Structure 1
Amino acid sequence: MSVLELARPEIRAMQPYSSARMEASGGQTMLNANESAWAPPGDHSLGCNRYPDPQPHELVDALATLYGVRSAQILVGRGSDEAIDLLVRAFCRAGEDAIAIQPPTFGMYAVCARVQNAAIVEVPLAADFTLDVEAVLAALTPAVKLVFVCTPNNPTGQLVSQGDVERLATALSGRALLVVDEAYLEFADALSMAPLIDRYDNLAVLRTLSKAWALAGARIGSLLAREEVIGLLRRIMAPYPLPRPCVALALEALSSAGQAEARTHLATVREQRASMAAALAALPGVREVLPSQANFLAVRFDDAGEVYRRLLGAGIVVRDVRRYPQLGDALRITIGSTAENARVLTVLQDVFA
């Protein structure tokens, strides 16, 4: 059974929109897309008067090399959020199909499902925030077409092992597509699941340049999957998803110099994560600092609401995650610069003094 048989039949059968840039490129006089003949002020030779390549070859090849997949196995879009939305729209029939998630986890999986009117099967993480594979499999119904797994998980920071991913992929074969979200993997002591794509046709991996690569404002994310899945999603993707300035920024970040700078920042985040975790755990009003493999720490407080207000009053914005299951006393604190982290600790010491 092909993984495409899990997708909506009307999507498989549809004729995708054919953009002017898809139909013809490489000409010297481009008069097929109703574009302006003049570049805008401040263009800096980017050519923003012309529509961009839907999947810029240079960027796709650079990301394929970075993630260890073939260029045909990668779809680049506006952050991993776009890939999540495309997956739900392609695989879930409104009012009939469902996704499965393990709360507390990234909220966009559920948001995209609700927009599509797809049901949501929730299988809570264990008390220590680890994934219970047997519980997930036991909860699945025939309606579930997508199973999302976040590793490191947001907002708790724990990893899912390769063994658990492979158990899920094997059990879901012919039943559902397993989507592994690795948005924070660069901060972790773990390997990507991307090499498993050639072994499991029902496995897809989400990656992003928003976190470790410092391009949250450029909105560049990737889906890694079998070629047939990539081709399916391209049918329903916006014709020109990637602005030329964003592509230029991404290529600069992925250059040799850019990668060296990113590695330096990653080392700082890892070091600061360890020191922040120890310092926070020693504060009298802190109940627990959850172990994290991401660039944040989920912290339980005696009075999380008061801590949030005091931090905000000092000009420090952290994430209030008390609405998440099992995190009713917690805040999520991103690892910032050394000075920013020291400021957080200073304010918290004053709060608990």
Structure 2
Amino acid sequence: MSVLDLARPEIRTLQPYSSARMEAGGGQIMLNANESAWAPHGDGGLGCHRYPEPQPAALLQTLAALYGVREEQLFVGRGSDEAIDLLVRAFCQAGEDAVLIQPPTFGMYAVSARIQNAAIIEVPLAGDFSLDAPALLAAVTPAVKLVFLCTPNNPSGQSIAHEEIERVAQTLAGKALLVVDEAYVEFSTQGSVADLIDRYEHLAVLRTLSKAWALAGARIGSLLANPQVIALVRRIMPPYPLPLPCVAAAMAELSPSGQAEAREHIAIVREQRALMQAALGQLPGVLEVLPSDANFLAVRFDDAGTVYQRLLQAEIVVRDIRRYPHLQNALRITIGTPKENAQVLAVLNEGRA
């Protein structure tokens, strides 16, 4: 059974839109796309009066090297959100198929499913936020086309062991596409499972430049998967998903000097995460600081609502995650600069004086 047998048949046979840039990529005089002949004011040589490459070759080459995959195993879009949306649309027939998620987890899996009118099957994480693999696999029905695993998980921060992900992948063969969201993997000591893609054609991995690579505002995310899955997603992608300024920002960040600086910042985050975990755990009113492999900490308070307002009054914004299962008394605190982290601790200490 091919992984494409899981996809919607009408998407497999869809004739994709052929953009002007796809049909003729370059030339001296470009008169095929109804663009302006003049660059906009302040363009700075970017050439924003021209449509960008749908999948820029230089960016694909750079990201493929960074993630350890081949270029034909890579799709680049507007953040991981776009890849999630395209996967749901490609694999889930509206009103018939389903996705399987493990709450508490990233909310866009369910949002994309609802937009597509796909059913959502929830198998909650265990009380310690570990994956309940037997329960997950038992919940897979013929309607389930996509299974999402988030590791490190958002909002709990915990990782799933590679061995457990591979066991799930083995069991799902021929049944569903396993999508592993690694948005925070750079902050973890556990590496990517992208090296399993060649072994399991129904495994896909989500990566992003928004977190460790400091490009949340540029919206660059990647899908790593079997070339057949990538080709399917490219059939339904927008004609020009990547704006030229965003591509330029990504190429600058992924230059040798940019990567070196980013890795320095990742090391600082890991160090500060450990310091913050210890310091927060000693504060009165803190019930628990959950272990985290990400760039944030989920913290349980005896009165999370009051703590949230106290921080807000000090112009410190954290994420209220009390709506999530098992996190009814928790806030999510991103690891900032050492100065910002110290300010958080100072406000919390003041409130308990």
Query: What TM-score does the superposition give when structure 1 sets the normalisation length?
Result: 0.99
Aligned to 1:166: 166
Q: String of CA shifts for 1:85-144, please: whole Å, max 9, x gaps.
A: 000000000000000000000000000000000000100001110001111001111100
Aligned to 2:54: 54
Which whole-Å CA distance do the structure 1 matches of 2:313 and 2:26 have between them?
A: 55
CA shift for structure 1 position 272: 0.3
Aligned to 1:147: 147
Could you tell me which runs of 5 or more consecutive residues in structure 2 were left unpaired when the two chains were aligned.
Answer: none
Map of 1:63-212 to 2, 5 A cutoff?
Answer: 63-212=63-212
Which whole-Å CA distance do the structure 1 matches of 2:272 and 2:92 have between them?
A: 41
Which whole-Å CA distance do the structure 2 matches of 1:4 and 1:27 have between them?
A: 36
Which whole-Å CA distance do the structure 2 matches of 1:347 and 1:153 have between them?
A: 27
CA shift for structure 1 position 351: 1.4
2:222 partner letter: S
Which whole-Å CA distance do the structure 1 matches of 2:10 and 2:42 have between them?
A: 43
Local SS of the residue matching 1:265: helix
Which whole-Å CA distance do the structure 2 matches of 1:122 and 1:140 have between them?
A: 10
Aligned to 1:352: 352
Which whole-Å CA distance do the structure 1 matches of 2:200 and 2:25 have between them?
A: 35
2:276 is the alignment partner of 1:273: no
Which whole-Å CA distance do the structure 2 matches of 1:352 and 1:87 have between them?
A: 47
1:19 partner letter: S
Which whole-Å CA distance do the structure 2 matches of 1:249 and 1:25 have between them?
A: 22
Q: String of CA shifts for 1:130-169, please: whole Å, max 9, x gaps.
A: 0011110011111000000000000001001111111111
1:148 partner letter: F
Which whole-Å CA distance do the structure 2 matches of 1:52 and 1:267 have between them?
A: 34
Map of 1:163-312 to 2, 5 A cutoff?
Answer: 163-312=163-312
Which whole-Å CA distance do the structure 1 matches of 2:104 and 2:43 have between them?
A: 43
Which whole-Å CA distance do the structure 2 matches of 1:200 and 1:166 have between them?
A: 9
Aligned to 1:31: 31
1:25 partner letter: G
Which whole-Å CA distance do the structure 2 matches of 1:307 and 1:59 have between them?
A: 43
Which whole-Å CA distance do the structure 1 matches of 2:142 and 2:324 have between them?
A: 27
Could you tell me which runs of 5 or more consecutive residues in structure 1 were left unpaired when the two chains were aligned.
Answer: none
Q: String of CA shifts for 1:252-310, please: whole Å, max 9, x gaps.
A: 00000000100110011000000000000000100000000000000000000000011
Query: What TM-score does the superposition give when structure 2 sets the normalisation length?
Result: 0.99
Q: String of CA shifts for 1:219-246, please: whole Å, max 9, x gaps.
A: 0000000100000000110000000000
CA shift for structure 1 position 25: 1.1
Which whole-Å CA distance do the structure 2 matches of 1:338 and 1:284 have between them?
A: 22
Local SS of the residue matching 2:197: helix
Which whole-Å CA distance do the structure 2 matches of 1:278 and 1:163 have between them?
A: 29
Local SS of the residue matching 2:284: coil
1:333 partner letter: I
Q: String of CA shifts for 1:165-224, please: whole Å, max 9, x gaps.
A: 111111111110000000000000011000100000000000000000000000000000
1:278 partner letter: A
Q: String of CA shifts for 1:31-89, please: whole Å, max 9, x gaps.
A: 10000110001111111000000000000000000000001100000000000000000
Which whole-Å CA distance do the structure 1 matches of 2:174 and 2:263 have between them?
A: 39
CA shift for structure 1 position 26: 2.1
Local SS of the residue matching 1:100: strand
Which whole-Å CA distance do the structure 2 matches of 1:333 and 1:342 have between them?
A: 13
2:107 partner letter: G
Which whole-Å CA distance do the structure 2 matches of 1:116 and 1:159 have between them?
A: 29
Which whole-Å CA distance do the structure 1 matches of 2:25 and 2:156 have between them?
A: 46
Identical positions, percent? 73
1:3 partner letter: V
CA shift for structure 1 position 27: 1.3
Moved over 3 A (4+): none
Which whole-Å CA distance do the structure 2 matches of 1:224 and 1:118 have between them?
A: 23
Which whole-Å CA distance do the structure 1 matches of 2:5 and 2:23 have between them?
A: 28
2:6 partner letter: L
1:170 partner letter: Q
